[in-house]
Amino acid sequence: MTTLTIDISDAKAAELSQLIKSKGGVIIADSSELSKEEQVSLNQSLKEARLIREGKLKPLSFDELWDE
């Protein structure tokens, strides 16, 4: 499975959402449903995940996550 983060105009969002759903995809998050704080947190999380995958950031262990 692949997760995409995209930035498109509001006018095209509904059209693209319908296309994704018709192809069996699922919309996980819609920025119109997220607060500004949630959007910032989601973007930061995605950035960290990309850096971990590229080997540029050390992933946290379960114990480290639990402590946060």
The structure's pTM equals 0.54
DSSP string, the chain: ---------HHHHHHHHHHHHHTT------GGGS-HHHHHHHHHHHHHHHHHHTTSSPPPPHHHHHH-
What confidence score (pLDDT) does residue 35 get?
87
Per residue in 3-53, pLDDT (tens digit) is 787 888 888 988 999 999 999 999 887 877 888 898 889 889 889 999 999
Q: How far apart are CA 7 and CA 30, in angstroms?
A: 11
Where along the chain do its domains lie?
Answer: 35-60
